Amino acid sequence: MQRLSIFAAAAVLFLSQAVASAQTRVQFEKMRQQMVDKVLVAGGIKDQRVLDVFRQIPRHEFVAVEHRQKAYFDMAIPIGDQQTISSPFIVAYMTQSLDPKPTDKVLEIGTGSGFQAAVLSPLVKEVYSIEIVEPLAKSAKRTLERLGYKNVITKAGDGYLGWSEHAPFDKVIVTCSPEEVPQPLVDQLREGGLIVVPVGERFRQTLYLMRKKDGKLEREALLPTLFVPMTGKAEDTRQVKPDPANPQVDNGSFEEKAFESGGQPGWYYEKQVTWQEMSNAPDGKHAITMQNTTPGLSAHILQGFGIDGRQVKNLEVSAWITTKDIVPDLKKDEAPLIAVTLYDSQRRELGHQLIGPVVGDTAWHEIKKVIKVPENAREGILRVGMFGATGTTSFDKIQFKKVDPK
């Protein structure tokens, strides 16, 4: 009887685990389909092949277990070694921009978790992917092999150098940001081939689509982005670096001309934002306006910045704001406000600071707050938005000011 009960208990445990696993698969499947419909399709991704791939690929398999419930949120997720898996929309947008063909041989710089390579795998003939962080390269290789992506070839190495023995490539996709496109990648791209790459300063980058013509790259600016930097030789030769001792908001008064896509220079991940000329703007002639009629749907804009908590003890964050018909969505932080999130050198989150919220109808006025900066802070994300509230909000003259401790 004792032995039978042990077997029975084991069978019950196995059955309960199988049921739980099946329930989890169903949940992930539902979340994945919702992500495609509400984020990719709603965001303007039109390539049906790309959408079909995203409906099939288990993004949760490319992140750590503790992050899996966020796998189908439209957000970047840490994968260790100061790296992240890019948001689904950015991966889909870059993939669509690359115009993948079944005959293409593609070079990817920055394997990361392997997710971008997995997305490309069913769309092209071969994917050659390089990752400079060896533990990530090994982990991605195991994941891709386990999930059956047989036409993805990976290696650990400096992506700045490309992969000359397999050149020329029809397409190149770079999932980290160099200051300029490394020449070896240009040399290894076939004539007429395409490269999608975020180029620029550490916290001010532009995603470009480039075509090789007569040995040189013709550029088309797509939208502002924020990627982890390309390390190795690309970082060693970087000319412009952030000043973490004196953090500043880039284009905080929105006077720079917006991209054709509507994106604001210096900002990224824009949702439901309009760049407008305003006669009563607090600073200059322009401001941004956010409008939302669907409770819970976020309208926002983001920016990264460097900050060294050993040199900046307190930071004053301020902005000018005007609101109309603002109704908060459920919680006080789901309303127009400014949010600052700080991170350590390993990109581990150190907490949030909120400035606001503002509800109802208000004329232009200033909101501000002095936040204490942890000594181990090394970078941050500035978020400006409505975060689920309905109504209309405009922002202008967003600033940082270093405050000496008293």
Closest CA to 150 of 126, 166, 175: 126
The CB density around residue 367, as the number of other CB atoms within 10 Å, is 18
57-65 long-range Cβ contacts below 8 angstroms, 24+ apart: 57/115, 57/118, 57/119, 58/28, 58/32, 58/147, 59/32, 59/85, 59/88, 59/115, 60/28, 61/143, 61/147, 62/113, 62/114, 62/115, 62/118, 62/143, 63/113
Q: What three-state secondary structure class fits 303?
A: strand
Catalytic, 86? Answer yes
Cα 246 from Cα 7, distance rounded (Å): 65
User: Which residues 6+ apart lie within 8 Å of 96 measured at CB?
Assistant: 45, 46, 47, 50
- Residue (of 194, 189, 178, 169) closest to 98 by Cα position: 194
User: Which of the residues 86, 113, 121, 139 is marked catalytic?
Assistant: 86
Could you identify the residue written with the tokens 């992969």?
163
Catalytic residues, which ones? 86
